[in-house]
Chain A
């Protein structure tokens, strides 16, 4: 079984994220880049599937030069090889363009299974897996908390608000996973050493057969018009409990639209 696992480099989850003044896109210098947390679960699931049934895992990432670190992280965890889609024209691409480029590359390489994390911590749209499935014309088996593959049959448990749905499809297919599916492994130092020797193929937009005019900020369907710094931390509200503290807290939370 040949599995592609799509991994994205995002700003460190706990860092304060900034946009650039120039074009209001993410300021990648302002925070360390890390592998999107849910993508670690996707890598783990791909590794578990191939460890159980054989096959290979290819880590695929689209992003600037620095995003190679994230491909390398997947290789350190145990993926066999990597593909890094890197091209200046991709800067500022939206989900539609991202799915276009990814689907072209994935179709070209041919995979039995394509696994994503169900969302990224920076954009949080959860749409790229579905878009890629649509573009490839394969089943979208999204929000999986369990994945089983038997021959050419794929079964997942799709996480829902009330429990889960059991969904079955044929392969090839696109799967997105939620954090309940497994516990991602840490790379070992042995894995870090081994990753040095694993190949990473670099792919440009032209290599993918995509017109540069279809991607990037100018082609994006949504753009940031303006933004402002988060206001400085204000003093909190102190509620004295004279017997009605609970009600006052509830009222406050309601005013703030938390409840």
Chain B
């Protein structure tokens, strides 16, 4: 059995629960069937196993180096990038009229999880490149698309997203990189960026940076930010590579995890090169001036779901590896067993089972959330502009949860996986410590946990006058009704879900009627914690219902994990909601000089 992601679980969630095959009745996905879905899942598992997993440790131990001019990576990363592209995996999710194969995003994200579980750092290059290509396809001119996108899909170019600067990360309004207009319609870019993944390497012919910069004279703050294509090498009209652009590194960052993804501080227009004999890095404006942040956020919403899926992948593979260890490792005996009796596998011990069951509940619950969100994206993408069911509202409210909940709880799963192995888990002889370090990035990047909490409570809940929450609760209510109709234990679980959802609605309403909600935003992370756990409980009940009437160990496991989540985890939302309901201002009232 693969120790990346359980294929049985992927099949259950994709086909038995989410019924992704029904998407093939829509025009956009009409070229597909179960056969092509399974074919790509098989291919992904094979490539992930043979091209990505084998150098996961090597990429961590031999992290990228920078000699002042060049970044050097282990060669296996480049081979993996080429194998990925040769299998058409970059083009797979794009619509057919954009050079792709029209694969539903739900299935694609399941495939990408296999790569994320095998080698999160190397998979990072593909995810960045695909995000870059998608943004260009959505907002760039046909000429720009023709010049830069096909080479990316073919694995000849990789892409980056250059947003942050040394003094402006979460707050992009303060970026200072500037773009000077030129008579020929191009721009010259000057500035320093920071935390740019994949910012330089020699694994591909070229690197396409998407850079946020301000055109002098534009509006202040985020409204004056524009988006530019800045290639490492200029690309001629015939597609051949030309002069070196003035993009060089000031240095690279040395990270706790994700070490194989080189993280850089690129300088634009520092004078290292003078393309065309002029100062500055040549940049091409994407779309209209001053709309760069809007373009970037179009991509960022899907990127946030992808981060959650990446966190899930690392949690999932850690769970499977600790499970295998627990079945194999002999230690101790059952209570009352004589000392001369044989030792038992540690999975026999109740506390080890608890840790495994908690991991199962977290990672399979997180997988359900990511795939459910992907299914919503697919429905919206194939709906021809109509949205009678307010699915966009539902997706919007779920997006910060889909990013943050897996980032938080699949990291806890990795922590538990290490604990299952005990001292062995703390050594570098096993993969788990690396999974934990790699996964620790996910609550930080693409909007930190705290920013997601503000987005959820401030923008998606209060900002929609509660419509987003009502849409979500309506979906939970439908599930509860189905559970109650099923009777027995399902009905009990449905009633518990309904009660918890009602409590969240009541507390949210109370917060929403406050004359000043600012103090409540200080408690936004408690709100995210409660809403996140409620959403996962809902999706566990959905899985429980998908398993009704089905027998066997797999379905028994689904039922038991649902019970665990409802008995051990769902009750945790009450203390968080109590804090919110009480209008608690403890953290807000804390003074700087009291620390």
Q: List chain A positions with a Cβ less than 8 A from chain B.
A: 14-15, 32, 72-73, 76, 186-190, 192-193, 195-196, 233, 235
Contact = CB atoms under 8 A, between A and B. Distances in A.
B319 to A, nearest CB: 19
Interface in B37-78: 39-40, 42-43, 46-47
B233 interface: no
Nearest to B91: A189
Given A195-B39, A196-B33, A196-B36, A189 B87 contact: yes
A187 B40 CA distance: 9
Nearest to A235: B330
B83 interface: yes
A159 to B, nearest CB: 24
A189 B92 contact: yes
B86 interface: yes
Nearest to B330: A235
Given A196-B35, A233-B328, A190 B43 contact: no
Interface in B1-25: 1, 7
Given A187-B39, A189-B88, A235-B330, 4 more contacts: A189-B39, A189-B91, A189-B103, A192-B36
Interface string B485-522: 00000000000000000000000000000000000000
B39 A76 contact: yes
A190 B88 contact: yes
Of A76, A193, A235, most buried by chain B (CB within 10 Å of CB) is A193
A186 B88 CA distance: 11
A127 B103 CA distance: 42
Contacts of A193: 31, 36, 101
Contact of B43 (A14, A187, A196): A187
Contacts of B7: 32
B89 interface: yes
B43 A192 contact: yes
Nearest to B103: A189
B124 to A, nearest CB: 21
A188 B35 contact: no
A233 B342 CA distance: 12
A183 to B, nearest CB: 11
A189 B101 contact: yes
A231 to B, nearest CB: 12
Given A192-B40, A235-B330, A187 B87 contact: yes
Contacts of A233: 328
B46 A189 contact: no
A186 B39 contact: no
Nearest to B85: A188
Contact of B1 (A15, A187, A189): A15
A178 to B, nearest CB: 20
Give the interface size class of chain B: 20 to 34
A95 B325 CA distance: 39
A193 B103 CA distance: 10
13 contacts: A186-B47, A186-B86, A188-B87, A189-B40, A189-B43, A189-B87, A189-B89, A189-B101, A192-B35, A192-B39, A193-B31, A233-B328, A235-B330
B86 A188 contact: yes
Contacts of A192: 35-36, 39-40, 43
Contacts of A32: 7
Contacts of B36: 189, 192-193, 196
Contacts of B40: 189, 192
Contacts of B33: 196
A196 B34 CA distance: 10
Interface in B322-339: 328, 330
Contact of B101 (A72, A73, A190, A195): A190
B101 A186 contact: no
A11 to B, nearest CB: 12
Nearest to B100: A189
A76 B92 CA distance: 15
A195 B103 CA distance: 16
A17 to B, nearest CB: 13
Nearest to A72: B35
A179 to B, nearest CB: 15
Nearest to B33: A196
A196 B39 CA distance: 10
A198 to B, nearest CB: 11
Contacts of B330: 235
B46 A186 contact: yes
Contact of A186 (B1, B31, B83): B83
B583 to A, nearest CB: 54
Of A76, A188, A189, A196, most buried by chain B (CB within 10 Å of CB) is A189
B490 to A, nearest CB: 28
A187 B7 CA distance: 19
A36 to B, nearest CB: 15
Contacts of B42: 73
Contacts of A190: 88, 101
Given A72-B35, A193-B101, A188 B83 contact: no
B454 to A, nearest CB: 39
A186 B43 contact: yes
Of A14, A15, A76, A192, most buried by chain B (CB within 10 Å of CB) is A192
**Nearest 8 A-B pairs (CB), nearest first?**
A189-B88, A192-B39, A188-B88, A189-B92, A188-B87, A190-B88, A189-B101, A192-B36
Of B40, B46, B88, most buried by chain A (CB within 10 Å of CB) is B88
Contacts of A15: 1
Contacts of A235: 330
A50 to B, nearest CB: 20
Interface in B514-568: none
Contacts of A72: 35, 39
Nearest to A185: B86
A76 B39 CA distance: 8
B165 to A, nearest CB: 38
Nearest to B47: A186
A187 B41 CA distance: 12
Interface string B87-123: 1110110000000010100000000000000000000
